[in-house]
Amino acid sequence: MDYKEGVTILVDKPLGWTSFDVVNKLRWNLKQRLGVKNIKVGHAGTLDPLATGLLVICIGKHTKLIDGLIIGDKTYTGKILLGKTTPSYDLETEFNATFPVDHITDQLIQEVCTSFIGVQEQFPPIFSAKQIDGKRAYDLARAGKEVVMKSNTIEVKSFQVERISPEEITFEIVASKGTYIRSIAHDFGKKLGSGATLVELRRTGSGDFSIKDAKSVDEWIQIIREEN
């Protein structure tokens, strides 16, 4: 592969890594392999550290393609815990409230699921990378400052859920660029007359790209190091 001329690779991001961690790791290995001081590496769509799955990485001149690749719909699978909430809407922060779940029926879950289909306004979590007056929202939230988020227009194309216990549901969702699945989980709990927290998330698709074609960071590093 001609990395300087430009390539796009698919990485299966591991749990606990930021998207920037993946970019940095690949860039360092590419610089070592190619014997250059710098090479452009970027990603087409951020994944939270607690999420795993498909990360589209553009290298060299392919970084010019990032804006076009980001706009594709994203597919995710995951798990939602019912009856509890956290400030970050996922497990980055501690549980801060508990709600009843006895009234939640399978029928109610399906009705709420259906209500998410279509174009809608969504408020991102305060623990997100959204810019507010030049600062990341999560930096302000972690500092204990009041954070007021503006809504974004998103579209949920499909949403399928399955209840696997009284307190847990699994899901697969296809949604437009900019959709926060953590907010989907949080709002899902509200619509159930309870609370909910995203406890597992994996991106399986981004535009025309699939996780089936992705390799781990270590696999890509080995390819970079061994390529002639």
* Catalytic annotation, residues: 48
Nearest to 29 by CA among 51, 55, 53, 9: 9
DSSP assignment of 22-81, as one string? HHHHHHHHHHHHHT-S---EEESS---TTEEEEEEEEEGGGGGGHHHHHTS-EEEEEEEE
Per the structure block, which two tokens stand in for 3? 């990395």
DSSP class of residue 215 equals: B
Q: Which residues, including other chains, have CB under 8 Å from residue 112's CB and lie 6 or more apart?
A: 188, 191, 192
